[in-house]
Structure 1
């Protein structure tokens, strides 16, 4: 009798549904490799597409220099640090891409890798996905923000623009010395194995906390992951970012959809104008940046305090930052 009851229990357990974590069953993720025209040549842009069931809004997210799509889905304490997870939990789809030349995207000669060509590639990714969604937001961090602004200003195919880690006024006194931490990737012990040309750059070993995270807390697991997954940036991306965001007529002047600028007060892009935007408050940030978005019907701002350039790694501000981003998207 006991044996029969045991067998019955085993059979019942086999057919009962297994509980899944909240949102796990509702969001489907896939790796997507999009063939793109990149200037005059063909390339492939990698992206990780995550779509919650019933999602009507898509965020296309572009990382900054020496980062990949992983910047938007940081696995260390991901419940706090992952923008992808926060957006998916709010019912917003995400497509985090690797810039051409980095990560799982193809790697042409570095002289071809600049902001206009990257924007062209992101535009084609958006074209492929646009029919599935009622609203599309293009967003970026640092150089990725310059690419997002160029994409929106040139192609006019999105409903909003997210700009993080980038303003139109830079504190060159702090930014230029930070760039001395960059070296040709071919000199790096791991990245040198890719056989990239001298125009691809990466950070000197051991410099990432000081360059990107300070004055935030130094968390060994974070800095170890950041160092282990560091990638490359082209010299051309740096030059065209400067030219298109603040040294000549900025491409943002052509953006005609709502913009959210989210910055951290400790960044190279914040300070006392003209050496950095005024990031003393969200309102001050908007006043400081508004002249560079003359056609945008709406400019909103958000300021993180107490962390460096890569504030997606900050757990202290994460909940409020993610909530503000979700609320902005729902309001445009």
Structure 2
């Protein structure tokens, strides 16, 4: 009799879910997803981190010359980590490497553009659908163009996070910055990959001026950024401009809530039409809202005092991360 009661107690305990907390243990794993990429098969790498009991996941796409590591920057502990902030709030994350970069496969650069990247991310989203109640897609810079294209084309996500990208660009500042790009085959380190001439990276020693200024010039941060830099295809740049700018933006087809997070010092902020109005969160929303005609809601957050890659900023990290978590909880 005592044995039967013990068995019943064990069975009951197994059937009752254990409540999760924001500090619950998080399990991370490397995931290699086979994806159709245009007409060919490729593999997209992602780092999936799942807090105990997580019911939602963010698929995070980095910008050009960055990898999935942009979302979990290994300096100063967790301060510069979006993924750890989300995981700590009970939200799972899947930070991916764009096709052509990082641990993902590397086809000819002529095949690598925003629509094909969006197609690959779509398949990652589909694989996560069976596991999570909500799937959101987010990006930074070119990664944001990919996230918008995925959401606007496939309509399979519950929300879109857009960072480091608006529909109004300050070309006076943006175009000169692009002169710092060189073919990856001319870079002392990346030339060893044997990539074709259509893959680009930043010239050595230019990343602080191009991406971080006017933020603090911290040697350890800039050194890390330089040592982990990656590539971007010329096609990604061209299709980003075509699909994310004033003429027929792909965002017009997005029909789920959107949050736009920008830094006022970026090439994408300024005086419209040369940059969106990033003087405040509400001004940013007002400036960008016309480009999200079908989205039921647009929220905004503005970072001040840092350049394009503001995931490296520590001054506003806590407020920025909290704003994203709060937005997601209302979806």
Q: TM-score, normalised by structure 2?
A: 0.93
- SS class of match (2:282): helix
Q: Following the alignment from structure 1 to structure 2, what is the Cα–Cα distance between the partners of residues 161 and 82?
A: 19
By how many angstroms is 1:281 displaced? Answer: 0.3
Contact 2:50 2:92 (C-alpha < 8 Å) held by counterparts:
yes
Unpaired stretches in structure 1, ≥5 consecutive residues:
1-21
4+ aligned runs moved over 3 Å, structure 1: 22-25
- SS class of match (1:70): helix
By how many angstroms is 1:24 displaced? Answer: 8.0
Q: Is 1:179 the equivalent of 2:178?
A: yes
- 1:110-143, CA deviations, whole angstroms, 9 ceiling, x for partnerless residues? 0000000000000000101111111111000000
User: Where does residue 204 of structure 2 map in the other structure?
Assistant: 205
Q: Is 1:329 the equivalent of 2:320?
A: no
By how many angstroms is 1:240 displaced? Answer: 0.1
Q: Following the alignment from structure 1 to structure 2, what is the Cα–Cα distance between the partners of residues 140 and 34?
A: 18
User: Where does residue 38 of structure 2 map in the other structure?
Assistant: 39
User: Where does residue 268 of structure 2 map in the other structure?
Assistant: 269
Q: Following the alignment from structure 2 to structure 1, what is the Cα–Cα distance between the partners of residues 23 and 286?
A: 41
- SS class of match (1:210): helix
By how many angstroms is 1:247 displaced? Answer: 4.7
Equivalent residue runs for 1:1-332 within 5 Å: 26-332=25-331
- 1:248-305, CA deviations, whole angstroms, 9 ceiling, x for partnerless residues? 2000000000000000000000000000000000000000000000000000000000
Contact 1:161 1:259 (C-alpha < 8 Å) held by counterparts:
yes
- SS class of match (1:75): coil
Q: Following the alignment from structure 1 to structure 2, what is the Cα–Cα distance between the partners of residues 85 and 252?
A: 28
- SS class of match (1:85): helix
Say how many residue pairs are matched: 311
- SS class of match (1:300): strand
User: Where does residue 14 of structure 1 map in the other structure?
Assistant: none
Unpaired stretches in structure 2, ≥5 consecutive residues:
1-20
By how many angstroms is 1:78 displaced? Answer: 3.2
- SS class of match (2:245): helix
Q: Following the alignment from structure 2 to structure 1, what is the Cα–Cα distance between the partners of residues 23 and 127?
A: 25
Q: Following the alignment from structure 1 to structure 2, what is the Cα–Cα distance between the partners of residues 23 and 206?
A: 40
